[in-house]
Structure 1
Amino acid sequence: MSKVCSITNARPVKGSKIHRRGLAKKKGGIGQHVTKAVSRTFTPNLKKKRIWVSELKRFVTVKLSTRALKTVTKNGAYATLKAAGVV
């Protein structure tokens, strides 16, 4: 099952998390030190939704991000799905 949004094409991207060690100076420590940069993936917040399209008089099941769900609510289901090439 792919982790790609049907409307916005949001997909996982690679990034890094910086590991730090020690207590910050403002908290009474001797300062934080960077020990390593560890790779990680940032995944989109995907939901599988059944959206009622009144023009087609049927439900359409799509996997979309929560950002895309907001776009569907704002612009309408048929217009958004048609622009994305889903319908």
Structure 2
Amino acid sequence: MARVCSIRGSRVRSGGKINRSGLAKKKGGIGRHVTKVVKRKVTPNLQSKRIWVPELNRWVRVTLSCRALKTINKNGAYATLKQAGII
């Protein structure tokens, strides 16, 4: 199963981690230098949830990010799921 939020479409992104060495100039060193750049994955915080939709009188199972869960709490389950095209 893909790591994608059903509501917002948040998915795994790639990024970079920069390793630095040396002492900063303001601390009396000769400056910080980049020694290595490592590729890494940034994954969304996905949760598998059952959400009760009173308008449909049933449960809906969705995989969503925590940000999408806050959106459901704010706008309501039926309106958010309808806008996302899930119901």
Report what 2:83 is aligned to. Answer: 83
Report what 1:57 is aligned to. Answer: 57
Q: One-letter code of the match for 1:17?
A: K
Cα shift at 1:15: 1.1
Q: How many angstroms apart in 1 are the aligned matches of 2:26 and 2:62?
A: 48
Report what 1:73 is aligned to. Answer: 73
Cα shift at 1:32: 2.3
Q: One-letter code of the match for 2:3?
A: K
Cα shift at 1:57: 0.7
Q: How many angstroms apart in 2 are the aligned matches of 1:44 and 1:4?
A: 8
Cα shift at 1:58: 0.8
Q: How many angstroms apart in 2 are the aligned matches of 1:23 and 1:63?
A: 45
Q: For 1:71, what is the secondary structure of its paired residue?
A: helix
Q: How many angstroms apart in 2 are the aligned matches of 1:78 and 1:54?
A: 8
Q: One-letter code of the match for 1:50?
A: R
Root mean square deviation, CA, Å:
1.4
TM-score by length of 1: 0.89
Q: One-letter code of the match for 1:7?
A: I
Q: For 1:59, what is the secondary structure of its paired residue?
A: strand
Ranges in structure 2 where 5+ consecutive residues have no aligned partner: none
Q: How many angstroms apart in 2 are the aligned matches of 1:65 and 1:29?
A: 43
Cα shift at 1:24: 3.5
What percent of counterpart residues are identical?
A: 67
